[in-house]
Amino acid sequence: MSDISLSKAVRSNLLSLQSTATMMAKTQEKLSTGNKVNSALDNPTNFFTAASLNSRSNDLNSLMDGMANGIQTLSAADNGLSSITKSVESMQSSLRQARQDKSFKGVSYELDGATAVTGGVVSIAGTTVSTVTGATTAGANYTAGSITAADITIQVGSATAVNVTLAANDTIDATIAKINASALKDQGVTASKDAAGTKLILTSEKNEVLTVGGANGTAGTSGFTAGALTNTAFAARSVDSLVNDINTNATLTPKVRASNDGGKIRLENLLTSADLAIGGLSGGKVTSGAASSGTSTVGKNTVRGDLVKQFNDLRQQLDRTAEDASFNGINLLRGDNLKLTFNESGSSSLTIQAKNAKAINSTNLGIDVQADTVADNDASIDAVIAKLGDALGSLRSQSSAFGSNLSQVENRQDFTKAMINTLQTGAANLTLADMNQEAANLLALQTRQSLSQSSLSLASQADQSVLKLLQ
């Protein structure tokens, strides 16, 4: 107070105590906060510089959350891709197993040769197969030197007749050579002569009816006997002959396989999608003519059918897996895009999305639902297996792309962590107090305060001496 007068010594000591108390308060604040700069008043440059560094550090730290979520989104997509890849591999396995399966059902039938007549047929899966035919060989009278310079026509079954041009007085050997050099050889017809060398023999490899015509074919007893090859007796087909016709029939070969089962004809159903219908039976035997009205069936291959069903079930699970591979509402396998920002200004970022922005599903992978008919033949199964191979290639390529994205995000995450640490360390260097130094300062100030208090007491003794004189 201005009304109170203090001696010079007391005032000097009082000012010293006040100064020491102020410094002690500041030192205690530094010790309690850990900072040597607690406000702009302490050090404006360091205070605002540290505030800027901490602000950027906080911005980067908030971006770290987005990166962490991005990594989990990529991880969810990778989990989905791994599961889908296993599903496609299982689909491949199912079809390969179907491809290898040969458990076709079959039934063996006897041939009823006693009832076989001209024109008799047996029906297999809607396709007609003849069961009887003409005689294997037939002969015609031949007189050397009676051939004229004209054609002889030979017709195999209902095929187009083949013309063979003969010269006047051709020998039997010359005639045989011309016939065997003609298009008839491609139709299974060969010419030969009997042991006496006077009779021309025509043989049909497939036991088909042969008809002879033309000028030389109607020359009467001096040449070929007209119609000689069409008036011979017919005989029932053998098992091997019928087996050959079935196995060389382009319409039947995808559906049925025939074999000789100890004198019986065995028919195997090669279909997965349908039973095989057999007609032309009488009393359970393959027959012909008017008696061939009986029917039978050979069951389909259920093993292959079950494996195709398994394929379709796996395809459905593939799509469901793709739909479930989401994290925090983002599903990269559904075609969603994920944008990650790497710096506080937004100038550095990464957008992640499936290739061509297409969803990863069975349709886009080219994997279609398969009908039972796909397993009816091995070629169809092979075609689907090839598509699955392409699908696996696409999945592996997409997995590699997501892996590359993940590596980029993780690298940036590590960089951002290091950058945050650098910024925080820089800010701390500007504002943090040296606790050891501040503790030593406080101790020194406490000592100074004690000494100042003692000095103040000594300075006050002079005033106390005056007081005693007055008393």
Q: Mark whether 111 and 243 lie in a shared domain.
A: yes
Count of structural domains within the chain: 4
Structure confidence by residue, pLDDT tens digits, 108-160: 988 775 434 333 456 776 666 654 433 334 444 444 445 565 677 777 767 78
Torsion of CA 300, 304, 306, 313, to 10 degrees: -140
The pLDDT, as a whole number, for residue 471 is 59
Q: Which domain holds residue 140?
A: 136-232
Torsion of CA 314, 318, 320, 325, to 10 degrees: 150
CA distances from 401 to 81, 198, 389, 468 (A): 12, 85, 19, 99
Q: What are the respective helix, strand and coil percentages of the chain, to the nearest 5? A: 50, 20, 30
| Domain end point (choices 178, 213, 232) | 232
> What's the whole-number mean pLDDT along residues 80-95?
95
Q: Does some domain include residue 264?
A: yes
Average pLDDT, the chain: 79
Q: Mark whether 287 and 154 lie in a shared domain.
A: no
Q: Does some domain include residue 49?
A: no
Q: Does some domain include residue 419?
A: yes
pTM over 0.85: no
Q: Mark whether 67 and 161 lie in a shared domain.
A: no
Q: Mark whether 167 and 201 lie in a shared domain.
A: yes
Judged by DSSP in three states, 238 sits in coil
- pLDDT of residue 194 exceeding 90: no
- pLDDT of residue 193 exceeding 60: yes
Within 8 A by CB and 6+ apart from 104, the residues are: 257, 268, 269, 270, 301
Q: How far apart are the two ends of the chain, measured CA to CA in Å?
A: 26
The pLDDT, as a whole number, for residue 229 is 39
* CA 331 distance to own-chain centroid: 20
Q: Mark whether 328 and 357 lie in a shared domain.
A: yes
- Check which CATH number belongs to the domain holding 360 and give it: 1.20.1330.10
Please name every residue paired with 200 in a beta bridge, in sequence order, or none if there are none.
140, 193
- pLDDT of residue 382 exceeding 60: yes
Q: Which helix (DSSP H) or strand (DSSP E) does residue 266 occupy?
A: strand 264-269
Q: Does some domain include residue 53?
A: no
